């Protein structure tokens, strides 16, 4: 992501009964907190997780968002989970192409 970009977040959950058997996560509130690279909260939202559709949200990064790793922390039914994403300014790729001909001249 780059500063000013919109970030879309989708939550889907499964509750494992055994190693081979699971069911959709139960409906419950879910609290999302987005932290910048310094650990400062950018936003906190409460969402409702649905067993069928999960939950989703979106937010826009500030234009002056600092580069680095951002953290998504979310609490669901007294448990804490997390994920991360990176923000950086666009950097034009730098590369060099060297062409070595098999022979010095070609007829056209």
Q: For residue 13, give the CATH number of its domain.
A: 2.60.40.1930
Domain assignment of residue 22, yes or no: yes
Whether the CB-CB separation of 31 and 75 falls below 8 Å is answered with yes
Domain assignment of residue 18, yes or no: yes
Count of domains for the chain:
1
Rg (CA), the chain: 23
Domain assignment of residue 17, yes or no: yes
Residue among 70, 42, 86, 60 at smallest CA distance from 5: 60
Q: Which residue has the tokens 């949200």?
A: 57
What is residue 77's predicted lDDT score, i.e. its pLDDT?
Answer: 95
Range of the domain at 77: 6-87
Domain assignment of residue 15, yes or no: yes
Tell me phi and psi for residue 84, to 5 degrees: -140, 160
What is residue 90's predicted lDDT score, i.e. its pLDDT?
Answer: 84
Question: Mind listing the pLDDT tens digit of every residue in the chain (108 residues)?
Answer: 999 999 999 999 999 999 999 999 999 999 999 999 999 999 999 999 999 999 999 999 999 999 999 999 999 999 999 999 999 988 888 888 888 888 777 777
What is residue 19's predicted lDDT score, i.e. its pLDDT?
Answer: 93
What is residue 105's predicted lDDT score, i.e. its pLDDT?
Answer: 78
């Amino acid at each position: 992501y780059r500063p000013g970009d919109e970030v879309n977040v989708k939550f889907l959950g499964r509750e494992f009964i055994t190693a081979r058997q699971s069911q959709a996560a139960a409906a419950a509130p879910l609290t999302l907190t987005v932290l910048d690279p310094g650990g400062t909260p950018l936003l906190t939202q409460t969402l409702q997780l649905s067993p069928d559709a999960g939950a989703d949200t979106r937010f826009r990064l500030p234009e002056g968002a600092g580069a680095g790793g951002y953290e998504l922390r979310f609490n669901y039914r007294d448990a804490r989970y997390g994920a991360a994403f990176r923000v950086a300014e666009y950097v034009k790729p730098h590369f060099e192409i060297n062409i070595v001909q098999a022979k010095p001249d070609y007829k056209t």
